[in-house]
Chain A
Amino acid sequence: MRDERQATLREGVRILVRAMRDEPVILGIAVAGSAVYGFATVAAAEVIGRVTDRVVVPAFREGETTTGALALTALAIMVTALVKAGGIVVRRYFAGLGQYRLNARYRRQVSRQYLRLPLSWHHQHSTGKLLSNANADVEASFWPIAPLPFALGVVVMLVFALVSMFLADPLLALVGALVFPAILLLNFVYQRRLSPLATRAQALRAELSGVAHESFDGALVVKAMGRESAETERFAKVAGQLRDANAAVGRVRGAFDPLLEALPNLGVLAVLIIGSARVADGDMAAGTLVQVAYLLTITAFPIRAIGFVLGELPRATVGWRRVQAVLDATGALPHGTGSLDGDAGPAHLGVRDVTYSYVEGTPVLDGVHLDVEPGRTVAVVGSTGSGKSTLASLLVRLVDPGGGAVLLDGTDLRHLEPGAVAGAVALVFQQPFIFEDSVRDNVTLGLSVPDDDVWAALRLAQGDRFVHELDGDLDARIGERGATLSGGQRQRLALARALVRRPRLLVLDDATSAVDPEVERRILAGLRDAALPSTVVVVAYRRATIALADEVVYVEDGRVSARGTHTELLAASPGYRDLITAYERDAAERARAGTDQEVRS
């Protein structure tokens, strides 16, 4: 426990040092502003003390004063106040500036990693977690930066304050020398007690949010199965834990906050009792008494800034560890230097003994071997979970095979330069991702093509009609993940996105599954008539989709078990026949059963 705390402290300090190194100028200015503030705070007490001795006390004793003395007094008080205020503005503004610059810097770095790291890495991390790495965790890492300059300035202030007290009266300074460390010590104890409780509350808050997210995401299932009460119980349990955790935080805060406030007050009372004796003995002026008492009063709050930094460190280290895990992650897909001839027409695809497994020992693909001649259309058919989608993602190099190779025009995809694969191959997913952007940008994705080409692609994808009906045509904005579009519309938009690129190899992964059969028929007819300069690989179940293909590849148990025309496979492959004629056989059997029944009756 103790070691862990020390580790947290060490790590926390390392974050602070890193932040200071990343933003030395801006944070330096903030610290300087804070030091000025600290100095001015002590000076304000000095001014009050001197004014008391030189102006106030004589005036009350003698019953007269001078305008000059009063003017000078007002000026001195105002100047210290303005310097103090100036210090505050500089400190707070630049500390915030530094904090936000650090946030922005690390958010950019984290998101660069997201874009660089391979898909396999993404599969191991949940969306929610990655989003909070980039947002909440980065923020937590640099949260202590806001009070850091304040805390450093307070150190300067404490030095000045002690010096000022010793110069004023060594005996009273002893009170300060006791009270300041006592406040610091109390702060340490406070943060040490508080931080594990606060961390627990934080964790529970995340858990509660997770429960709510999942439960509301599955609201339809909850309702359809009448599980509302059970879900509420699940939520109430975590909410109750959070309540208790927050109340525990409250008990610690409730005990320490009043104590921290009382300490300097007790210090002032001590100063009054000691000081009044010394003033009575004539060893000290009344102004000094006022000065020290006042100093203790106005420094009481700033001293707690050190505690603010300490208090944020545990949260910061947790956040930073998560951010660091992202920044340190390795394993990008390395690229080669090879290139492809861009105008060479349809590409040749070669799949050589490819294996792939998600879980060690249970390969999804186990030695897939396949050649597709340029311009051919091949349908990949297989049962649910047979690895067809995995194969599709290998063809565009979303992942690399565990063994074997994927070749485009004879070149291993791994040897191609960055961008070469995407320049030649387009994959359309079953569940396409739609960007929060205009229709046009969703089709072009930044590629500069004339609107006519965009329309042509949309037309081919049977998407031009619905786009025309949108408010703004190509400029219509599409909401978060295409929420305003139906599944079929999203698929058609994604298809247009692929077609507008005139890919040399087009891979369709059950890409028209949400489209009405009639619309799908038109899409497929369009693709055929358009005489695309493409080699096409299409993953499908529907007979009509398969009919589009020159050739069918049947995948079974992770390997190509048969290939040929549809008719050939029907004859040669029992597995294929079973899969593809399931409906007919079903219908036939039913018809037979029906006749039997009729005969019997």
Chain B
Amino acid sequence: MSAVAGRGSQLGEVRTGDGAWRTFRRGLALSPEISTGLTVTLLLALVATAGRVVVPIAVQQTIDSGLNTGSGPDLGYVRWMIALAAGGVLVTVVAAYFMNRRIFQASEAGLATLRTKAFRHVHDLSVLTQDTERRGSLVSRVTSDVDTISQFVQWGGLIMLVSIGQLIIATVVMAVYSWQLTLLVWICFLPLFLALRTFQRMLSSAYMVVRERVGGMLGAISESVVGAQAVRAYAVEGRTQQRIDDAVESHRVAASRAQRLAATAFSTGEVVAGLANAAIVVVGVLLGVAGDISLGRMLAFLFLVTLFVAPVQVGTEVLSEAQNAIAGWRRVLGILDTPADVADPADNGVRLPRGPIDVRFEHVSYAYPNGPTVLHEVDVAIARHTRVAVVGETGSGKTTFAKLLTRLMDPVEGRVLVDGIDLRDIRFDSLRERVVMVPQEGFLFDDTLAANLRYGRPEATDDDLLIAVTELGLGEWLDSLPFGLQTPVGQRGESLSAGERQLVALARAYLADPDLLVLDEATSAVDPATEVRLARALEGISRGRTSVTIAHRLSTAEAADEVFVFDRGRLVEAGPHAELVEKGGVYAALHAAWVSQSR
């Protein structure tokens, strides 16, 4: 676990040390669909590839056995042979079709599985691990990273497979025709094959720069969009535009530079092919004069050389793609390799019956990986039906307390017991049904208000929703919305105000009907009157329920059965409001400060 935070946002590089081959094999193991029936696919590929030498052989046969026979032209043989060749070409088409089809189907099925596994795993990771990553980078693991693999398998990988096959088969045919010319062709092309890696390295570093600049460009443009308000309020349009222009220009320059390299690399194949052709004609004629090769065989070489050009031309691109695909694969595997350190015991876990809940913290300490201890030795019990308020200054450990209570994190030491059972032994589906937390930032999904309210209880009817909203005292607010329950809330709920989002989040949790409701500053953006109304409503309906409220306004504490006071990572006081005020300790001071501020 400690390794996770130490790595920062390096989730994908977890197994950087692994070779490409190992990544490839592990990747295949995780998507078994890709390798099922691979033998048949490879056999089809063999047939499809073999078809590529049909034409050169036909040329050779036509000239040597059809026209240049000692006993005059044999057109009957030519017709017979060409018919056979045409048959060969058609078989190739059929084989290639089935090969393509199988590759597409298998790879798509395998990658869809991989995507879904990785997606699920991201949700299974602990909050802590999720928070160390940019959300965008997690998204790319299940989208573009997988896309690079699929593109490679279906384009570059396919070309690589066919290219290697056609090089081998062309070489075999060449060797049968003339070992001398075969050697010659290879002498021309070998340096180029060897240079491919260098070309590719130069290109990939050029494209790396391009990708970085794309990031910079997107960042600059996003300021004009996300910061639209700030840009206008401070009239910094000119400055923002200048930053965008600079970023756009530097991206263009980098892309153009990479393009120059790519164009040059691509054209070398043509130059070498020309060189090989010239050499074949010169040496071939000399061999022919010496009687070591037939005319047809020599001419067939010109056709066979064309089979060398395509692999060289696309070679650098294919290698880059392969590299990207391996990197993408590694990043996806990196997600799957990251341990879900707050793991669901699933079938090994206990399922708790519904009903009032009690909680006990036993010597609980928490420290962030490689960080200082933020919660020390907490020993406390929350009895059934109790309403607890947790107070303390920013950084005092109260949010940590809530996260441990809801098992968003596990304690480093000690244990948290619910109904006498260690949280770590309770199945998630049972735990999340009974214990629900409402975080501060009221995240909503881009859907209607109704759909959001129903999130924790999909089977709830519209009437259920209305009842819940009314019970929370929010009926008037709902009526003020132009489309009522059908109001679209926008992305992240941004069509509503911050306070309204919190209201929805609270109602959503209430509808889920948990036995223990944990509110983490869940009403911080709501006006006082609404907040008090909500608090009252919650009290009414939470009788018979256990609740823990992290409070930023001490009015909540005044109303609670019990107040937990945190200070610098320790639980320093616990007891009813009146008692603590009387005691004259930390809470009394906090309360006095709050009263002077708010009244």
Contact = CB atoms under 8 A, between A and B. Distances in A.
A384 B408 contact: no
B82 interface: yes
Interface stretch (A157-165, A341-349, A431-439, A451-459): A431-439
Contacts of B115: 208, 235, 239
A328 interface: no
B90 A262 contact: yes
B24 interface: no
A81 B100 contact: no
A481 B291 CA distance: 78
Interface string A563-601: 000000000000000111111111100100010000000
A104 interface: yes
B178 interface: no
Give the bracket for the number of chain A residues in contact with chain B: 35 or more
Given A89-B267, A93-B259, A293-B59, A254 B295 contact: no
Which of B446, B458, B598 counts the most A-chain CB atoms under 10 A from its CB? B598
B531 interface: yes
B303 A111 contact: no
A50 to B, nearest CB: 11
B96 A258 contact: yes
Interface string B256-292: 1001101110111011011101110110111011010
A48 B122 CA distance: 60
Which of A126, A243, A266, A516 counts the most B-chain CB atoms under 10 A from its CB? A243
B124 A228 contact: yes
Contacts of B526: 384
A516 B553 CA distance: 11
Contacts of A359: 482
A89 B429 CA distance: 61
Contact of A215 (B123, B232, B291, B525): B123
Contacts of A217: 135, 443, 492
A475 interface: no
Interface in B584-599: 593-594, 596-599
B302 A583 contact: no
Contacts of A8: none
Given A212-B142, A579-B529, A398 B233 contact: yes
B241 A115 contact: yes
A449 interface: no
Given A115-B240, A257-B96, A272-B78, A433 B288 contact: no
Contacts of A253: 100, 104
B285 A583 contact: no
B120 interface: yes
Contacts of B536: 586
B255 interface: yes
Contacts of B458: 230
B400 interface: no
Contact of B512 (A60, A75, A225, A272): A225
A247 B112 CA distance: 11
A474 B591 CA distance: 36
A78 interface: yes
Interface residues of A, dominant DSSP: helix
B16 interface: no
Given A224-B439, A269-B85, A418 B235 contact: yes
A546 to B, nearest CB: 10
Give the bracket for the number of chain B residues in contact with chain A: 35 or more
A384 B86 CA distance: 79
A268 interface: yes
A217 B230 CA distance: 23
B530 interface: yes
Interface stretch (A11-19, A95-103, A368-376): A95-103
Contacts of B289: 59-60, 63-65
Contacts of B109: 243, 247
Given A56-B288, A250-B104, A96 B255 contact: yes
Given A97-B256, A243-B109, A247-B105, A272 B310 contact: no
A585 B105 CA distance: 68
Contacts of A324: none
B456 A225 contact: yes
Interface string B103-141: 111001101100110011011100100100011101100
Given A84-B274, A517-B593, A55 B281 contact: yes
Interface in B53-97: 54-55, 58-59, 62-63, 66-67, 72-73, 75, 78-79, 82, 85-86, 89-90, 92-93, 96-97
A489 B58 CA distance: 78
Interface in A212-270: 212-228, 230-232, 235-236, 239-240, 242-244, 246-247, 249-251, 253-255, 257-259, 261-262, 265-266, 268-269
Contact of A82 (B108, B274, B532, B558): B274
B8 interface: no
Interface string A380-410: 0011110001000100101000000000000
Contact of A247 (B108, B240, B394, B431): B108
Interface stretch (A294-302, A310-318, A460-468): A294-302
A266 B85 CA distance: 9
Which of B285, B406, B512 counts the most A-chain CB atoms under 10 A from its CB? B285
Interface in B569-586: 578
A476 interface: no
A590 B241 CA distance: 57
Contacts of B231: 115
Nearest to B280: A77
Nearest to A585: B532
B431 A276 contact: no
B28 interface: no
B90 A100 contact: no
B239 interface: yes
A250 B154 contact: yes
Interface in B421-477: 428-429, 431-433, 436-439, 443-446, 455-456, 458, 477
B211 interface: no
B212 interface: no
B270 A84 contact: yes
A435 B222 CA distance: 10
Interface in A49-92: 51-52, 55-57, 59-60, 63-65, 70, 73-75, 77-78, 80-82, 84-86, 88-89, 91-92
A81 B273 contact: yes
A422 B530 contact: no
B229 A393 contact: yes
Interface stretch (A129-137, A166-174, A177-185, A187-195): A129-137
Contact of A269 (B58, B252, B596): B58
A116 B241 CA distance: 10
Contacts of B266: 88-89, 92
A228 B498 contact: no
A541 interface: yes
Given A205-B147, A243-B112, A111 B221 contact: yes
A254 B94 CA distance: 10
Given A265-B89, A398-B229, A280 B599 contact: no
Contacts of A127: 222, 225-226, 491
A543 interface: yes
Contact of B101 (A116, A131, A225, A250): A250
Contact of B248 (A107, A126, A362, A383): A107
Interface in B183-236: 214, 217-219, 221-236
Contacts of B224: 111, 114-115
B537 interface: no
A427 B231 CA distance: 11
A401 to B, nearest CB: 16
A220 B439 contact: yes
A582 B528 contact: yes
13 contacts: A48-B302, A70-B285, A81-B270, A84-B274, A85-B274, A92-B266, A111-B224, A208-B143, A244-B108, A258-B48, A272-B62, A384-B497, A398-B232
Instruction: Give the top 6 A-B pairs by smallest Cβ distance, nearest first.
Output: A81-B274, A226-B432, A250-B104, A254-B100, A422-B235, A96-B259
